[in-house]
Amino acid sequence: MSKRHSNWLRCAGPALALASLLGCGPGGDQALQPTAAEGPSASVAALMKERGLSEADVNAALKTYMPTGKKDDYYIFSSGGQSGQVLVIGIPSMRILKYISVFTPEPWQGWGFGDQGSEAVLAGGDRRGMKMRWGDTHHPNLSETNGDYDGQFLFIGDKANARMAVINLTDFSTTQIVANPILESDHGAAFVTPNTEYVIEGSQYPAPLGGAYAPIEEYNEKYRGAITLWKFDRASGRIKPEESFAIEAPPYMQDLADAGKLDSDGWAFVNSFNTERAHGGNLEGQPPLESGASQNDMDYLHVVNWKKAEELYKAGKTVAINGFPVIPLETAAAEGVLTFVPEPKSPHGADVTPDGKYVVVGGKLDTHATVYDFAKIKALIEAKDYVGKDPYGVPILDFQKSIKGQVELGLGPLHTVFDDKGNAYTSMFVESKIAKWSLSEMKLIEKLPVHYNIGHIAAAHGDTVKPQGHWVVAMNKWAIDRFADVGPLLPQNFQLVDVSGPNMQLVYDLPIPLGEPHYTQIVKADRIKAIDHYSPVGSNSFSHEKDPNAVDGGQERIERRDDGVHVYMTQVRSHFTPDIIRVKQGETVHLHMTNLEQAKDATHGFGISSYNIALSLEPGEHDNVTFQADHAGVFPFYCLEFCSALHLEMAGYLIVEPAAPKVAETQKRTGGRS
């Protein structure tokens, strides 16, 4: 009898007395066992009885509870879904630490409410001259060095508008958004190569590339997908669009992606669905898109040789579409850049194992995870051993010759992550379970119910070359009955699972109440080197250098120039200098504001009534705002962050003197009285 069984028997047997309660249960720890039957154990038992808690509940609470001042071991960086943002959560406490504003204006962080820096970043994501101010963030990816998270940058794609954002993890601030010039939507984004040479952005819904028009009847001929490789420059912390390119793909719906690592470095794997090329028309005698897209039994795993693609790009074997270099489909097929392997239909994850030797694919409607053997795939490609070609000439490998095998897991395997003990954890959408299985033995070990309809799954460093184990997070699409009722729109449910013991234990439910998250990554807290203030004082939070308009203490002033009124203002607890700004109606106002503080957490906000301006000036930060003082009147401004005992007094006035009014208007305003 194994140790855990004997442990359980000890707990379940006659020793099931109050004093031993805390020593029992999964992962029970002898050290927790009280020494006396009186005291804490009795009160704990009373609490348990009162709240209806089991020993497993108490065990879970002890694993996750964070007393004040104690910090989490891991960060979760989570997609914020339709909020267009990124969430930061701590493990094991599951406390929400931050929302990072990315694609959507957010006033607390002064994101997109006047500050020129954030407005410029947001404008980088505008498309076709249209101001885009929301996004659907799906898959965050941390920058990697040698295939492991280095904690420096985070990338996240916007599925709705095919955009990519770069977040600097020194100040948890978005520094760049690029709009994909050839795609209308993405999904295989963001996925980084092992040294963050490129950030992969794969398309989702085919459309004519580059924003062109073609009738939907020409779907097969004119609609296309693409796999974009954004060049990332670590030194500047920026994507370089001028060194980026894309690979044209057939009009299938490309889905999740993963970059190869170690043995498979230089390659990328992209799932697809709808190789049927269904495109709707349910009022026109066609099956609905969803039905048409699941007619076939298999879709195609796209095997992409991105090193080869890079060579072709550098050799100029591209065509320019909307000014962006694209390797044409026929070139990609002929040169071995793009090869297909059949995969079970409607797959989701294409997850490379930590050693880079295998790719795990789940089919949402399958009962198995399929494990592809990269060495076999590579050998077949090198030998040009194809079973056929798709209608676009892309070679197809034999399914059976390409796989290591299949593991029966249950219903609806979706996405797979890994731990440090050679185990894989697959989310089982249909069954609402996590399946833990052995990669080496290709055998199911254990399943854990989760609530409900789990989508992605994440593990600590679980998609890197060095998974750390211990924690897995189930990202459940539905919460149904898990939380207090909040109307028909329900939060999502993140469930934290302890996988450190022999059995998985569900230990925490966290509602996610703003947007539907997709993927997350979990990184060890010590990898993140965050600053707590900007230095020197007057730093621009995007360049991290002193802003040309930075204001030193004592240099506050108001200057009138040809281009308008320049206000050089400082903030320090608890006043603005100057605190009265006098301008004339119609003048252009340039606010240059420096928070002189260097103290941790001494952030000042700045909001002016009726002008839609909200800024966050973190310690040492400088912001610039330009606006037209079109509305005459008196507009209080005040500090938006409770900064000191005299915070409420940290205020001032924008006085906009009316332009010489017409007589009729004066009469109207005074009600005709003189």
Q: What is the 3-state secondary structure (H, E, C) of 422-452?
A: CEEEEEECCCCEEEEEECCCCEEEEEEECCC
Phi, psi dihedral angles at 53 (to 5 degrees)? -95, 145
Cβ neighbours around 320 below 10 Å, total: 11
Please give the C-alpha separations between residue 499 and each of 56, 393, 421, 459, 460, in angstroms, as whole numbers: 14, 45, 11, 9, 10
Q: In whole angstroms, what separates CA 36 from the centre of its chain?
A: 48
Of positions 33, 57, 97, 578, contacts another protein by CB under 8 A: 57
Tell me the closest approach of the beta carbon of residue 432 to another protein, in angstroms. Answer: 6
**251 class by beta-carbon count within 10 Å (0-12 exposed, 13-18 middle, 19+ buried):** buried
Among 12, 120, 334, 580, contact with another protein (rule: CB under 8 A): 12
Nearest to 86 by CA among 102, 67, 64: 102
Q: Which stretch binds another protein (CB under 8 A): 93-101, 233-241, 397-405, 547-555?
A: 397-405
Using the minimum distance from each CB to another protein, give the nearer residue, 453 or 539: 453
Q: Which amino acid is at 427?
A: S
| Sequence-separated (6 or more) residues with CB below 8 Å from residue 8 | 24
Distance CA 635, CA 651 (A): 11
Closer CB to another protein, 387 or 514, in the complex: 387
285 belongs to the binding site for another protein (CB under 8 A)? no
Contact present, 428 and 413 (Cβ < 8 Å): yes
For helices 40-51 and 55-64, give the axis angle rounded to 10 degrees.
110
Return the residues of window 123-182 that contact another protein according to CB under 8 A. Answer: none
Minimum distance, C-beta of residue 482 to another protein, in the bound complex (Å): 8
State phi, psi for 390 to the nearest 5 degrees: -80, 175
CA–CA dist 583, 567 (Å, integer): 10
Q: Is the CB of 25 or the CB of 517 nearer to another protein?
A: 25
Binding residue (CB under 8 A) for another protein from 136, 265, 299, 351 = 299
Collapsed DSSP state (helix, strand, coil) of residue 517: coil
Phi/psi of residue 305, nearest 5 degrees: -90, 90
Q: Does 4 bind another protein (CB under 8 A)?
A: yes
CA distance 559 to 177: 33
Q: Is the dihedral of CA 202, 203, 209, 212 positive or negative?
A: negative
Minimum CB distance to another protein, residue 365 (Å): 7
Taking alpha carbons only, the member of 150, 162, 245, 227 closest to residue 196 is 150
Binding region for another protein (CB under 8 A) out of 187-195, 365-373, 457-465, 662-670: 365-373
Q: Which range, of 84-92, 296-304, 320-328, 516-524, touches another protein by CB under 8 A? A: 296-304
Q: CB 368 → another protein: shortest distance, Å?
A: 4
CB atoms under 10 Å from CB of 523, counted, come to: 23
Beta carbon nearer to another protein, 275 or 624: 275
Sites for another protein among residues 577-606 (CB under 8 A): none
With a CB cutoff of 8 Å and minimum separation 6, the contacts of 455 are 414, 415, 427, 429, 475, 476, 477, 518
Quote the tokens at residue 537: 């004082």
Does residue 16 bind another protein (CB under 8 A)? Answer: yes
Residue 300 contacts another protein per CB under 8 A:
yes
Applying CB under 8 A, the span of 52-60, 65-73, 168-176, 531-539 interacting with another protein comes to: 52-60
Q: Is 14 in the site for another protein (CB under 8 A)?
A: yes
Q: Does 33 bind another protein (CB under 8 A)?
A: no
Contact flag: residue 366 with another protein (CB under 8 A): yes
Among 22, 23, 25, 572, the residue binding another protein under the rule CB under 8 A is 25
Q: Which stretch binds another protein (CB under 8 A): 145-153, 314-322, 499-507, 603-611?
A: 499-507
Q: Does 13 bind another protein (CB under 8 A)?
A: yes
Q: How far is the CB of 43 from another protein (least distance, A)?
A: 15
The three-class DSSP label of residue 368 is strand
Verify binding: residue 647, another protein, rule CB under 8 A: no
Are 431 and 457 a contacting pair, CB within 8 Å? no
Stretch touching another protein by CB under 8 A, among 183-191, 232-240, 289-297, 376-384 = 289-297
> Minimum Å distance from CB 480 to another protein?
6
Among 44, 123, 298, 558, interactor with another protein by CB under 8 A:
298
405 touches another protein (CB under 8 A)? yes
For the segment 316-345, give every residue that binds another protein (CB under 8 A).
342, 344
Q: Find the shortest distance in angstroms from Cβ 203 to another protein.
A: 20
Q: What distance in Å separates the CA atoms of residue 109 and residue 101, rounded to the nearest whole number?
A: 7
Distances (CA, A) of 272 to 41, 131, 348, 489: 55, 30, 8, 30
Q: How far is the CB of 389 from another protein (least distance, A)?
A: 12
Instruction: Tally the residues of the chain.
Output: 674
5 contributes a contact to another protein by CB under 8 A: yes
Q: Is 72 a binder of another protein (CB under 8 A)?
A: no
Segment lying near another protein (by CB under 8 A), choices 5-13, 419-427, 464-472, 659-667: 5-13
Using CB under 8 A, which residues numbered 429 to 468 contact another protein? 430-432, 444, 446-449, 451-452
Q: Does 373 bind another protein (CB under 8 A)?
A: no
- Kindly state whether residue 367 participates in binding another protein, applying the rule CB under 8 A: yes
296 lines the binding site for another protein (CB under 8 A) = yes
Between 222 and 368, name the residue whose CB sits nearer to another protein: 368
> DSSP E strands: which ranges in 53-162?
74-79, 86-91, 96-100, 137-145, 148-158
DSSP SS3 for 672:
coil
Instruction: Name 594's bridge partners.
Output: 570, 622
Closest CB to another protein among residues 444, 632: 444
Q: Is 172 left (phi over 0), alpha (psi -120 to 50) or beta?
A: left
Q: Which residues ranging from 523 to 562 are in contact with another protein (CB under 8 A)?
A: none
Tell the smallest beta-carbon distance from residue 465 to another protein (Å). 28
Nearest to another protein of 295, 667 (CB atom): 295
- Judged by CB under 8 A, the number of residues near another protein is 63
**448 and 497 Cβ atoms separated by less than 8 Å:** yes
Give the per-residue contact string, 225-264, with another protein (x = CB under 8 A; - = no).
----------------------------------------
Instruction: Select from 23, 26, 206, 620 the one that contacts another protein (CB under 8 A).
Output: 26
Phi, psi of 270 (to 5 degrees): -130, 125
> Hey, CA dihedral for 623, 624, 627, 633, is it positive or negative?
positive
Q: Which one among 295, 535, 543, 666 touches another protein, defined by CB under 8 A?
A: 295
Segment interacting with another protein (CB under 8 A) among 91-99, 161-169, 285-293, 569-577:
285-293
Binding site for another protein (CB under 8 A): 4-5, 8-9, 12-14, 16, 18, 25-26, 49, 54, 56-57, 275, 287-288, 291, 294-300, 342, 344, 365-368, 370, 387-388, 396, 398-400, 405-406, 408-411, 430-432, 444, 446-449, 451-452, 478, 480-481, 502-506
